A and B are shown apart, each in its own frame.
Chain A
Amino acid sequence: MEKASHLSVIIDLSPTQWHLSAQTSNQYPLSIETFLSQLLAFLNAHIASKHENSLVIFGALPGKSVLLYSSTELLSDDVPSLDANSYLPFKLVDSAVVQRIMNEFDAIGELEEEPPCALVGAVTKALCYINRITHPSSTTAGVAEDPSIVHDPRILILSVSPDLSSSYIPIMNAIFSAQKLALTIDVCKVYGPDTVFLQQAAHLTNGSYIYLERRDALLQYLIMSFLSPTSIRKILAVPKQDKIDFRAACFCHKNIVDIGFVCSVCLSSTHYLLLSCDLAVFCQPLPVCSTCRLATLVP
């Protein structure tokens, strides 16, 4: 491990899903408290493995995304009281993350209906952040061999929510920008069914997508699969998923389809007209394309 590596962690903090995950009817119940304690151990391992390693944590909450912790700048002024039994960098991360998550949860309050988790917002923020630290502007640093420039950025998504088909296009756009920045997206599916979109994200960016089978062994999965930077993974043979679904979501019934009907006009059309409509993939032939409102010829 020669160069410092950067890790952006995105935690899916959907209260409903975490509640379901903690229920004892599951084979391996996992509550958010246990999850956080295991995750913090993993984050500490990342910080400890090299002094220059940087870490940013984003939380995807219902309807919004927040920056929970950033190793480059202090978000709050209150430095936790020193404790002889704890190592300060660990203590900083742990207290900041737990404190902010609790604050955000408290702020949610009683809602009739929970809006979907803003995973896209968190991913795009992570991309912007990585863009900022990998391409420092003239205002921040001018030296080419600045040690703060990271070479090996990664994003780790800890997902509990199912796919949200309306976020299909933004997720895809985020994946393509991740490819342009040459960074890796790893996905750990902690709870819930496989998500097709995140599978594709991991595949397209050479990351690994791991579905947690034994959820009581979360920490072991994290350390074995996601701690090593990409340069070392070639040697370590990190597990990847074997079968990848390249299916798209249809936008008439929100089904994920393997054979779809694609409107050739939307596909071969307009740059700036369709601002509010959906991807024109349908699971059955429709007489009128709902996207561009043109009569279609059913094949």
Chain B
Amino acid sequence: MAPRNRDDNFMDVDSDSDISLLGDVERRGKGKGKGKAADKRKKDKGKAKAKEQAYTWEASYTRSWDTVQEDEAGSLQGAVEDLMARGRRRRLLAPAAAIRRTIIRHLVLLLDLSAAMMDRDMRPTRFDLMLQYAREFVVEWFDQNPLGQIGVVGMRAGIGERIGEMSGNPQDVLKCLSDRTRLEPTGEPSLQNAIEMARSSMSHLPTHSSREILIIFGSLTTCDPGNIHDTLDACVKNKIRISVVALAAEMKISRDLCDKTGGQFGVAMNEGHFKDILFELVPPPAQRAVARAGGPGANPAADLMMMGFPTRLPDSSPPSLCACHSDMKTEGFLCPRCMAKVCDVPTDCDICGLMIVSSPHLARSYHHLFPVKPYETVTSMEGESETTPACHACARIFSTSASTAAASEGISLWGRYRCPDCHNDFCTECDVFVHDVIHCCPGCGK
């Protein structure tokens, strides 16, 4: 990590000359804010990227290929294996304690569409970068939170603007983020108006789902019609979690929004760091006992939720009106309780209010509940009476001699990894594939 102290902060102010539009006061505020954010990050363990370089313009040009070392034979095998070993170790270090996490999530993505977003300190502009990352974020978010829903609200010209309705379909959300010209930034942002709009769109949601607002904020001002602290109190009351990713600098109000509602606050220092702090918000947040207990017991009781698993109508069925949009359609899903036809799942039935999910949706949320145990590294072939010649999963033939690469933790010289339950051997690729993608051991079938 780059050494950073008070003196650096002054230097930052001086070196901040590429933003000439901002006033002197604002500029000093900006330098301070960033310095503070960096100081804070020094204490808590941030992403490695954030530690290595502080500001884009300070960092020396790092050549990524310099870190990769060839071995004597000029092969990169050893370096590649070392990288894989690091990945394995990170996986093994995953938290073992039970955390309660929300799976049914509702998120409103609040995009700053004010004139400050046209700033070019992030290439090509803050606005373009934000749109690009927001699209990647949505894809990744739906991959990890298949039962969740995302709505999009923009803030420009002093008002909140609904860009996309709350939807569980990633294509809908991506469509409303795809049109760059419709989202052209202009005017001043208004945090209060936009948060109020997001809050009202989430007010009807059931208690077992999480309500979150994610603000990507590039401006240093907000022009509000009333007292924003009232809005903040209302959000706390409604258990809405607000997270802010600031592109310019830390503002007191955005820090307060996050701290009081239990969200995360981050100031993006460069393009890579922007992506890092945005994607930290993808995995479901751990529920806070204080915020969620709601009663005297420390261990809140479970609600049993009634859920319906629908039947999908074929494309060839006779067309009929759907209950949600009153459109004439052939395909659709039948609510199992009232037999109303809805267009898409997951949703709440418009007629009887039953929550309709397709069971694959539910099952997809479960794969991380039943993780595959990490495979043991086979470090020695001695004492093995009978060894299988090939990988149990993909039938690749194991090499019979140990690899010449330097031994490091978590790497088997024979390329064998053994399941602790079924004692079958797997090759490196299958090991990674089983743990990262399938989540099911081919030997045990569990």
Query: Does the CB pair B438–A269 fall under 8 Å?
Result: no
Specify which chain A residues have a CB less than 8 angstroms from the CB of B98 in the assembled complex: 269-273
Q: Which of B304, B364, B437 contacts A285 (CB 8 A)?
A: B304
- How many residues belonging to A are interface residues under a CB distance threshold of 8 Å? 72
The residue on A at minimum CB distance from B315 is: A242
Interface residues of B in 70-88 (CB under 8 A from A): 77, 80
Shortest Cβ distance from residue B433 to the other chain A in the assembled complex, whole angstroms: 5
Query: Does the CB pair B360–A175 fall under 8 Å?
Result: yes
Query: Does the CB pair B369–A261 fall under 8 Å?
Result: no
Q: Does B29 contact A (CB under 8 A)?
A: no
Interface residues of B in 393-446 (CB under 8 A from A): 393-397, 429-430, 433-434, 437-446
Specify which chain A residues have a CB less than 8 angstroms from the CB of B365 in the assembled complex: 267
Secondary structure dominating the interface of A: mixed
Q: Does B10 contact A (CB under 8 A)?
A: no
Q: Does B217 contact A (CB under 8 A)?
A: no
The residue on A at minimum CB distance from B399 is: A139
Which of A128, A273, A275 is packed against the most chain B CB atoms within 10 Å? A128
Bound CA–CA A229/B438 (angstroms)? 24
Q: Does A281 contact B (CB under 8 A)?
A: yes
Instruction: From A17-25, A92-100, A154-162, A243-251, give the one contacting chain B.
Output: A243-251
Q: Which of B95, B354, B445 contacts A272 (CB 8 A)?
A: B95
Shortest Cβ distance from residue A286 to the other chain B in the assembled complex, whole angstroms: 8
Q: Does A227 contact B (CB under 8 A)?
A: no
Shortest Cβ distance from residue A104 to the other chain B in the assembled complex, whole angstroms: 16
Q: Does A215 contact B (CB under 8 A)?
A: no
Secondary structure dominating the interface of B: loop
Bound CA–CA A70/B396 (angstroms)? 11
Known contacts A267-B365, A272-B371; decide if A260 and B309 are in contact (CB<8 Å): yes
Query: Does the CB pair B301–A295 fall under 8 Å?
Result: yes
Query: Does the CB pair B438–A177 fall under 8 Å?
Result: yes
Q: Does A121 contact B (CB under 8 A)?
A: yes
Known contacts A129-B393, A270-B369; decide if A121 and B443 are in contact (CB<8 Å): yes
Specify which chain A residues have a CB less than 8 angstroms from the CB of B433 in the assembled complex: 127-128, 131
Q: Which of B314, B337, B362, B369 contacts A281 (CB 8 A)?
A: B362
The residue on B at minimum CB distance from A70 is: B395
Query: Does the CB pair A274–B367 fall under 8 Å?
Result: no
Specify which chain A residues have a CB less than 8 angstroms from the CB of B336 in the assembled complex: 258-259
Query: Does the CB pair A120–B304 fall under 8 Å?
Result: no
Query: Does the CB pair B363–A124 fall under 8 Å?
Result: no
Shortest Cβ distance from residue A202 to the other chain B in the assembled complex, whole angstroms: 12
Query: Does the CB pair A271–B99 fall under 8 Å?
Result: yes
Instruction: From B19-27, B100-108, B157-165, B218-226, give the one contacting chain A.
Output: B100-108
Bound CA–CA A135/B126 (angstroms)? 36
Bound CA–CA A137/B95 (angstroms)? 30
Interface residues of B (CB under 8 A from A): 77, 80, 94-104, 208, 210, 287, 299-317, 333, 336-337, 345, 354, 358-360, 362-371, 391-397, 429-430, 433-434, 437-446
Q: List the 5 shortest-distance A-B pairs measured between CB atoms, nearest first.
A: A242-B314, A248-B359, A172-B363, A128-B393, A273-B98
Interface residues of A (CB under 8 A from B): 65, 67, 70, 73, 118, 120-121, 124-125, 127-129, 131-132, 135, 137-138, 167-170, 172-177, 180-181, 200, 203-204, 241-248, 257-275, 279, 281-282, 285-286, 289, 292, 294-299
